[in-house]
Structure 1
Amino acid sequence: MKVTIIGGSGFVGTRLIENLLLSEDVHIANLDKKQSDTYASLTQIADVTDASSIRAALPGTDVVVLLAAEHRDDVSPTSLYYDVNVQGTQHVLEAMAENNVKHIIFASSVAVYGLDKENPTETLPADPFNHYGKSKWQAEEVLQAWFKNHSDWTISIVRPTVIFGEGNRGNVWNLLNQIASGKFMMIGPGTNRKSMAYVGNVVAFLQFLIQNKNSGYEVYNYVDKPDFTTNDLVYHTGKVLDKKIPTRRIPYWLGMLGGYGFDVLAWVTRKKLPISSVRVQKFCAVTQFDSSKAMGSGFVPPFSMEEGLRRTLKSEFGK
């Protein structure tokens, strides 16, 4: 089986390639607009905004895993979200059709639900609040429309929550780094629960979908349970690293006021800053999602949530 990963040079894609290389009967190709630091020999430079570059690289492919996306919350201009996430998905589908490839696994996001939803299942109507979530939802609509005219295809959409793990430098790493360094400031009471996903489990689920092909259209949330509160993360960080974590607290309204101040400063200086009103809002939001469909599919996560967090903390901050 030939698996073509589009956007596989990043954090999740690199771990997926690592897992797939353990299977002798899988041939892997990585298409990305940047070279892979780890798997250069498997990588071909291509960009989803350039349909011809994708089309030329797909002959012989059995399944496409589409990971390529604009996902940061400070992308400029915002049209890039739609050029890459929406139009790029359309380009990939057209390239697949021209190469008779009928199996795609698409990495979407729980951002399609919006903020402060109560443990949503896959059937909850989309209500995205930012350009990333809106563009991911529009990409899913492209896939829905495509399946109506291609009912013999296998289309699997995975909506992971925030992903963490060894080697990642995203939002969870920033939070854990602040906690571990003792520079952490809690905004609000810290009782809001955060659904998270360990990268080792996410790529294992993607591999499960690659290997268990069933024609049809399916959508899966991916979340590792239990959902920790921010207070829980402080506790587990201290326990794993065997250190007392001091915690300063400020009320939510003051945190948001500070976030708006950084928004103005970023606009004036034209610089990307680590603090913004959007990031404060996301930090304090309840982000719980139901993952019973994925866990009822026959997939068994290889790592517990606690083990994933322990591995990450030991790798990134252990002495």
Structure 2
Amino acid sequence: MNNKVCFIGASGFVGTRLIETAKNEFSIKNLDKQQSHFHPEITELGDVRNQESLDAALTGYDTVVLLAAEHRDDVSPVSLYYDVNVQGTKNVLAAMEKNGVKNIIFTSSVAVYGLNKTNPDENHPHAPFNHYGKSKWQAEEVLREWFNKSPTDRSLTIVRPTVIFGERNRGNVYNLLKQIAGGKFAMVGAGTNYKSMAYVGNIVEFIKYKLLNVNAGYEVYNYVDKPDLSMNELVSEVEKSLNKKIPSTHLPYALGMLGGYCFDILSKVTGKKFAISSVRVKKFCATTQFDASKVHSSGFVAPYSLSQGLDRTLKYEFVHDKKDDITFVSE
């Protein structure tokens, strides 16, 4: 078993939970441009854009888990997506070659498929609609090129998660759950569109599962916790967890998009970033379902159902007293 694992970019939401999950199984180092709130003792400051720091960091390691990415909707300048997500991946692979590291797990995204696709599986054509998705696809292509140079003794696992939620996360799902839980929620559209989601407690267990079962070869997995929920069903889950009736208002899609465009203009004029934008309204109303039969037939068993993940998150965020105010911002 490859025991020495270098996590790159694990000071954030997913990485923190992954370290917690895997620290008793592996000898772990975390390389990140940000210090870790919870695991500073194994964290070394470094940046995927700095080749020297990568070369030094991977000395003596067997495996890389590459989590580092620019992923928010509103990164500026857009060149950062490509500097970090694409060139950063090239730099990591160069450091791996210098150090003889032959195993990498890479977190990509279902954003490589684009919007409103019909339940795409891992072989679905790529059609990313934003710079994040485009840069993730380009990074995947770089990784496949690296793997194909020596496919008999290299291991490449690409994990394409859908939107990930969980305790301490401050992203789009948290904002949505907060609005629903607070009763300040307007449903844009009929609420019958389905949303694939992934609970952080499950995605990190899957990555650990792949670390424990390393084989030469190339695999790509969509990661989604099934079954998918419609927006109306999601509201019902919140009601059940919090034991309260949630009032909801339905707005026509056109009106919701108009509001999003107004916030786009306001953001440009003021230079401020808002929780509402045309992109986020479009994503909210889109059906985002992805086929995850491959991951769930791989031998991996998710420790939590989607309902349990939502319940744990809702209770942590809106019911139980918190020991601290440490949170992680993502999409």
- TM-score with structure 2 length normalisation? 0.95
| Counterpart position of 1:267 | 268
Name the SS for the 1:298 alignment partner. Answer: coil
- Structure 1 match to 2:52: 52
Match of 1:97 in 2: 97
Which residue in the other structure is 1:139 paired with?
139
Q: Matches of 2:51 and 2:178 in 1, distance apart?
A: 39
The one-letter code sitting in structure 2 at the alignment partner of 1:303 is: Y
Indicate the residue corresponding to 2:36 in structure 1. Answer: 36
Work out the number of aligned pairs and report it: 317
User: Where does residue 9 of structure 2 map in the other structure?
Assistant: 7
Structure-2 separation of matches of 1:31 and 1:150: 26
Partner of 1:235: 236
- Work out the CA distance in 1 between the residues paired with 2:99 and 2:273: 41
Q: State the shift of 1:274 in Å.
A: 1.2
Q: Deviations over 1:62-109 (max 9, x none)?
A: 110000000000000000000000000000000001000000000000
| 1:210 corresponding residue in structure 2 | 211
Distance 1:119 1:244 in 2: 31
Q: What percent of counterpart residues are identical?
A: 65
SS at match of 2:195: strand
Cα drift, residue 217 of structure 1: 1.0
Q: What is the distance in 2 between the residues matched to 1:94 and 1:196?
A: 33
Describe the superposition over 1:44-71 as per-residue Cα deviations: whole angstroms up to 9, x where unpaired.
Answer: 0010011111111111111100000000
Number of the residue aligned with 1:161? 162
CA distance in 2, matches of 1:128, 1:31: 28
* Distance in 2 of aligned mates of 1:229 and 1:51: 44
Q: Which amino acid aligns with 2:109?
A: S
Q: What is the alpha-carbon distance in structure 2 between the residues aligned to residue 38 and residue 298 of structure 1?
A: 31
Q: Secondary structure at the match of 1:303?
A: coil
Letter in 2 for 1:8: A
**Partner SS, residue 308 of structure 1:** helix
* Equivalent AA in structure 2 for residue 89 of structure 1: T
Tell me what 1:246 maps to.
247
Q: How does 1:211-226 map to 2 (within 5 A)?
A: 211-226=212-227
Structure 2 runs not aligned, ≥5 long: 321-331
Partner of 1:176: 177
Superposed CA offset, 1:100-149 (max 9, x none): 00000000000000000011000001000001000000100111111121
Gaps of 5+ in 1: none
User: How much has 1:150 moved relative to structure 2?
Assistant: 2.4
Comparing 67-76 and 264-273, the one that deviates more: 264-273
Letter in 1 for 2:192: T
What CA distance in whole angstroms lies between the structure 2 residues aligned with 1:144 and 1:64?
15
AA of the residue aligned to 1:131: H
- Superposition deviation, residue 22 in structure 1: 2.9
**Displacement over 6 Å in runs of 4+:** none
Amino acid in the other structure paired with 2:48: V
Hey, what's the Cα distance between the residues in 2 that align with 1:243 and 1:302? 27
For 2:141 and 2:102, locate their aligned partners in 1 and report how far apart those are by CA, in whole Å: 18
Alignment of 1:296-307 (within 5 A): 296-307=297-308
Partner SS state of residue 56, structure 1: helix
Task: Show the counterpart of 1:85.
Answer: 85
Taking the aligned partners of 2:263 and 2:58, their CA distance within structure 1 comes to 44
The one-letter code matched in structure 2 to 1:229 is S
How far does the alpha carbon of each residue in 1:239-279 deviate from its partner, in whole angstroms, 9 at most, with x for none? Answer: 11011101011100110111111111111111111111000
- TM-score under structure 1 length normalisation: 0.98
Q: Look up the SS of the partner of 1:59 in the other structure.
A: coil
> Residues of 1 paired with 2:313 and 2:69: CA distance?
24
The answer as to 2:57 corresponding to 1:66 is: no
Corresponding letter in the other structure for 1:308: G
Distance 2:13 2:179 in 1: 21
SS at match of 1:88: helix
More off after superposition, 35-44 vs 142-151? 142-151
Cα deviation, 1:221-241, whole Å, max 9, x if unaligned, reads 000001001111111101110
Q: Secondary structure at the match of 2:96?
A: helix
The code of the aligned residue for 1:286 comes to: T
Report the AA paired with residue 201 of structure 2.
Answer: G
The amino acid across from 2:160 in the alignment is R
